[in-house]
Amino acid sequence: MREIFLQNGAFRRPFSKGLVVESLLNAGVEADTGAAIARSVEQDLLDHGQTLIAPEELWDLVSGRAGQLYGDGLAGQLRAQVPTFSDIIILDEPTPRPFSKGILARSLENTGLPSREAYQLAKEVDRALRLGGERTVSRRALEAQVERILERQLGEVARRAYHERADRIGLLVVEEERSGFSFPFSKGILAQSLLSCGLSPTLAHKLARETESVLLDRGVRVLPRPELRAVVADLLRKEVGEEPAQRYLLLRAIRRPPKPLVILIGGVSGTGKSHLASEIAYRLGINRVVSSDSVRAVMRKMVSAELLPALHASTFEAWQALLAPGEQCDRPSADLLLRGFREQVQQVSVGLQANIDRSVEERASLLLEGVHIVPGPLTRPREDAIVVPLLVVVPDAEQHRNHFYARERDTGHQRSKERYLGYFREIRTLQDYLQDQAATFEVAVIDGEALDRAADQATEEVTRRVLMALQPSLE
């Protein structure tokens, strides 16, 4: 199916039926009715071959379709509000910026509200602005709206706590170097950046709070991003040392590489590759994370077990699809095990390659993880992307075995250890094979026994690869 995109100036994002439904729900439309309208509008766009549409044009189309089905009164009500897929702009110096429920929720958390309650209140503010047709709002008007909702729902004490904090902090804005856009300073985002330097979460959040205090004490309200980085680096030198400060500056410099970043994390079951993938994606700000198991699951829905039997088995059981009819075999030889494994990898690689190609085409960084990420053709360098292949292993067999016990406990026995331990010998054989492949294709091997140490090793390898790609522009 062709994809539909919302085009707003230079920015483009995928069409979302969910956001259309949410906009209709704001106006009091029933969920089933909203879903029907959203599907109807999407189908109409596809039927007319329209793959690009402005948010205002889309909302006019939605309102018109609602009017056809449920009367002009609803259509008029919808046209008077701001849909959830359109930005509400806060008119502040130096440049206007979009309203963000997430940033407002964090501000409310800083007044002492629990996270869930803070986000619900932020949603209420967003809904009030949209129902009021507020396409632009001043910061003071926004704060007044927040205070009204706080007082109505939680009382005067909560309103006063927010008012005092807003009055003290005001708006701390960071200007981008090249684009000219500005964004509110976020301690959470800064702490995430500091985590990628190897700092503990406690220290990262402490330094983020200290950075905010330093800027407020200086009376700063607007500062270019390089100046913010200089302040952070100076605090790092004083609190931790020169090496973490230099690492922070280096990682900030490579945050936006010249080509899309494709990180490929392989490893057999029980090595902790999924946890490592989540940690690396968080540290480096990568939004697209795909597991090879999910790709395999989609392919299984499309192709029957009769056609591709190896695809429908676990990687350590794929050899069974190679047995002749009626042939009995309790445990495979190493050769049979690897032939079955390679057959499934070859099949799943089609879907993995498609994911990589799509991300590169859209110039979006991607992290792929799974046992099907095998050093070889999939992990080779590309001209149009920075490919960083990694292999996660657990060298000690007993430690590896313990990972399955821990996983069963952590998942509430959803992933039983018995099945994996029953094929533990085969899983270790596959790990040996992957390590041989990693040596042949010069893929970095990460020790997965300790997550923090593994994340540091992986970050170092990503940094090294990106610096190699940046080298021509740095010379």
Distance between CA atoms of residues 73 and 426, nearest Å: 67
The average confidence (pLDDT) of the chain is 85
pLDDT number for residue 392: 96
Task: Give Cα 321 to chain centroid, integer Å.
Answer: 36
Name the range with the highest mean pLDDT among 73-77, 269-273, 285-289. Answer: 269-273
Distance between CA atoms of residues 337 and 341, nearest Å: 6
Q: Is the pLDDT of residue 185 over 60?
A: yes
Choice among 71-80, 121-130, 214-223, 422-431 with the minimum mean pLDDT? 214-223
Task: Say how many C-beta atoms besides its own lie within 10 A of residue 112's C-beta.
Answer: 12
Q: What is the mean pLDDT of residues 178-190?
A: 72
Pairing relationship of beta strands 97-98 and 89-90 according to DSSP bridges: antiparallel
Q: Which of 60, 44, 56 is nearest to 4 (CA)?
A: 44
Distance between CA atoms of residues 235 and 321, nearest Å: 59
Name the range with the highest mean pLDDT among 159-173, 177-191, 356-370, 411-425. Answer: 356-370
Pairing relationship of beta strands 173-175 and 136-137 according to DSSP bridges: unpaired
Check if the beta carbon of residue 41 is closer than 8 Å to that of residue 58: yes
Q: CA-CA distances (angstroms) from residue 299 to 101, 132, 349?
A: 37, 46, 11
Beta bridge partners of 224: 175
Decide which of 437 and 330 is more confident: 437
Q: What is the mean pLDDT of residues 16-42?
A: 86
Check if the beta carbon of residue 79 is closer than 8 Å to that of residue 63: yes
Q: What is the mean pLDDT of residues 41-49?
A: 86
The pair of three-digit structure tokens given for residue 247, joined into one six-digit string: 């690492």
Band of pLDDT at residue 474, cut at 50, 70 and 90: very low
Residue/partner pairs of 121-130 with CB below 8 Å, 24 or more apart: 121/146, 121/149, 121/150, 121/153, 124/149, 124/153, 125/101, 125/149, 126/84, 126/88, 126/99, 126/101, 127/26, 129/82, 129/88, 129/99, 130/23, 130/26, 130/81, 130/82, 130/83, 130/84, 130/88
Beta bridge partners of 3: none
Band of pLDDT at residue 76, cut at 50, 70 and 90: confident
Q: What is the mean pLDDT of residues 254-258?
A: 67
pLDDT number for residue 253: 66
Check if the beta carbon of residue 215 is closer than 8 Å to that of residue 160: no
Choice among 59-73, 80-94, 292-306 with the minimum mean pLDDT? 80-94
Q: Is the pLDDT of residue 168 over 60?
A: no
pLDDT number for residue 77: 85
Pairing relationship of beta strands 444-447 and 136-137 according to DSSP bridges: unpaired
Check if the beta carbon of residue 286 is closer than 8 Å to that of residue 280: yes
Decide which of 106 and 354 is more confident: 354
pLDDT number for residue 92: 64
pLDDT number for residue 259: 82
Q: What percent of the chain has pLDDT over 70?
A: 92
- pLDDT one-digit tens code per residue, 415-445: 778 888 999 999 999 999 999 999 999 999 9
Name the range with the highest mean pLDDT among 15-29, 156-170, 331-345. Answer: 331-345
pLDDT number for residue 13: 77
pLDDT number for residue 406: 84
Phi, psi of 48 (to 5 degrees): -95, 5
Decide which of 283 and 214 is more confident: 214
Q: What is the mean pLDDT of residues 59-84?
A: 86
Beta bridge partners of 388: 263
Distance between CA atoms of residues 70 and 33, nearest Å: 10
Beta bridge partners of 378: none
- pLDDT one-digit tens code per residue, 101-140: 877 887 788 777 888 888 889 899 999 999 898 889 888 8
Band of pLDDT at residue 89, cut at 50, 70 and 90: confident
Per-residue three-class SS string for 423-462: CHHHHHHHHHHHHHHHHHCCCEEEECCCHHHHHHHHHHHH
pLDDT number for residue 475: 42
Q: Is the peptide bond before 184 cis (omega within 30 degrees of 0)?
A: no
Q: Rounded to two decimals, what is the model's pTM?
A: 0.58
Decide which of 265 and 20 is more confident: 265
Band of pLDDT at residue 179, cut at 50, 70 and 90: low
Largest CA distance in the chain: 80
Single-letter code of the amino acid located at 95: T
Alpha helices in 218-333 (DSSP H): 225-239, 242-253, 273-284, 292-302
